[in-house]
Structure 1
Amino acid sequence: MPNIEIENLIKSFSESVKLVQQVKAQMDEIQDQISPEIKNVHSKSQQLLNAIGANAEEVFKKLDEREELVDEKCKAALEKIDQKMSEIGKVQAPSSVVTKPAVVTPKTSDNKVEGCSYKLIDGKVEIRFERIPSVAVRNRLKEHKFGWSKAKAAWIGNADRHPENVTLAKELAGEI
């Protein structure tokens, strides 16, 4: 009798092993079917991220171009206003002096930018602005190899190898 129980146990164990092997085979088959789909999704998401990055760069370039265009149009409009004011001034009162209307700009001098500050940290110079600096200022920073750090919300440039970057920071902050 005990042999029959052992034989039943062995038979039951063998059937269990077969079921486990079948389940494993089915799981392997499912994984083989799903794995290419996962790779495909990953590849497509990477392509989308690359496209978004390229589009963002293009948007920033277009914004810079539009800002320059607006600046040019404002200058042209001011020149027309000056011309009209001169014409009006000549007709109404030839001896009066017509002055150019005051234009509010972020600069208080040729080099200083209102709201600009800087720090020297670990051989780097960090320049911060209260408002987005003009295209001209951003181009000047880029010419000096400054880069924008989103994490620090500052323009970062090397101070150790490029002491002129410290000079630029001092000029923009109005210290020079």
Structure 2
Amino acid sequence: MPVSAESDTPSVWMRIAQAIRTYWHWPVLVGVALYMMFQFWPPMIDLDPPGTEAPTFTHETIDGDTFRTADHDGQVMVINVWATWCPPCRIELPGFVDLQNEWKDDVQFVGLATDQQGARVVKPFAEEQGLNYPQIASDTLAYRHFPGEAVPRTYVIDTNGDIRYEHVGFMPKSTLNRVLRALT
């Protein structure tokens, strides 16, 4: 029985499947290349000019201590507004722990958790995550001094008390480290 010309030609879908099996590694390689590019050549960081004075506050931490921004005059501070329910916050926190360890003499991190349940949910989460810097659970404090709806929000305050860098969204450790190097 003769075979028609149509049956000898693979269907479009079969050709696509064959191409995927043959060239599957190219999208993976492009993804790895993009990841590596941003690790070694991250985007430029533009620090705001001095002049925007950071708010000062005194508030009780989740551990019952009193945190005063005035106690850290002359020191770079990183204020991170976050929440336990926020996936990008959870991803960036280990980098902040590492940077607090690395910069402990020159930089003070402080977390302002916006969880409405307060210290009841923030304290166990902070202990589980090994957060090594003061945590304040107060949505009103965060919104009063660092207004905005999105979390996470990160503010870097220079040694003169001016907000020099603001970032909304996930803050990569490498980017924040570059900001800290520029300000210390």
Does the pair score TM above 0.5?
no
Normalized per residue, which structure has more helix?
1
Larger gyration radius, structure 1 or structure 2: 1
Q: What TM-score results when the alignment is normalised by the length of structure 1?
A: 0.31
Higher relative contact order (CA 8 A, sep 6+): 2
